[in-house]
Amino acid sequence: MKIAVFVSGGGTNLQAIIDNTKNGILQDVEITLVLSSSKDAYALERAANNGIKTAVVSKKDFASLEEWDETMVAEVEKSGAELVVLAGYLSLLGPEFVGKYSNRIINIHPALIPSFCGAGMYGIRPHQAALAKGVKVSGATVHFVNENYDDGPILLQKAVDVLPDDTPETLQKRIMKECEWQILPQAIRLIADGKVIIENNICYVR
């Protein structure tokens, strides 16, 4: 299966996918495009280091949202990707893109949705919010993407304990290592194997 991975920052989730295409559970998966919303994302270097084609498409470089949306569609069409994986991608996708790739876009979110998600809840913020609320478990979620932030059918979740001396940074790191870098490749595996079904906005693994 060919996939496109969308990024905005450091790209540790992209790295987890790359590593699995080489030595892990995704050896039949090809990353045909890494698309970044920012030219400064370190994820672009990770892609280049692995010979993966990259593109930078920033909303702010376009005269209209429609033009940006169309360019995003064109980039993915050109790549031949059957699945789009948002791996730390921080822009809200446009309506044309979401319509065109309906049920073929997944996102990793660093909290147990529906907690600590939605607009503005990205990066370190879900972890700050989790600690401020005093939750005893947190984790990560892979879900399908619709036109709203963190809102589509949930495919996989994994939890870890919140420890008494956690800071947002220690919690973030543990969730990345023990949850995100595990369940994002697993989700791609399940989709590549045709095991994922969505019915009435609920996702089932069969």
Catalytic residue among 46, 84, 108, 109: 109
Q: How far is the CB of 87 from ligand GAR (least distance, A)?
A: 5
Q: Which residues, including other chains, have CB under 8 Å from residue 179's CB and lie 6 or more apart?
A: 110, 139, 140, 158, 159, 160
Question: Does residue 176 belong to the site contacting ligand GAR (CB under 6 A)?
Answer: yes
| Two structure tokens written together for 184 | 């994002």
Q: Residues with Cβ < 8 Å from 21, sequence gap 6 or more?
A: 27, 29, 30, 31
10 lies in the binding site for ligand GAR (CB under 6 A): yes
94 is a contact residue toward ligand GAR (CB under 6 A)? no
Interaction of residue 152 with ligand GAR, rule CB under 6 A: no
Least distance in angstroms from the C-beta of 9 to ligand GAR: 4
Beta bridge partners of 3: 31, 83
Closest CA to 73 of 102, 97, 37: 97
**Measured CA distances, 186 to 36, 124, 173, 204 (Å):** 22, 23, 19, 14
Binding mask 116-135 for ligand GAR (x = CB under 6 A): ------xx------------
SS3 73: helix
Closest contact distance (angstroms) between CB of 85 and ligand GAR is: 11
127 is known as an active-site residue:
no
Distances (CA, A) of 91 to 19, 64, 78, 170: 25, 15, 21, 25
| Residue 88 binding ligand GAR, by CB under 6 A | yes
Tell me which amino acid residue 4 is: A
Stretch that binds ligand GAR, among 29-37, 103-111, 160-168, 186-194 (CB under 6 A): 103-111
Residue nearest to ligand GAR (CB): 88
Site for ligand GAR (CB under 6 A): which residue of 12, 21, 36, 138?
12
Interacting residues with ligand GAR (CB under 6 A)? 7, 9-13, 43, 87-88, 108-110, 122-123, 176, 180
Kindly list the catalytic residues. 109
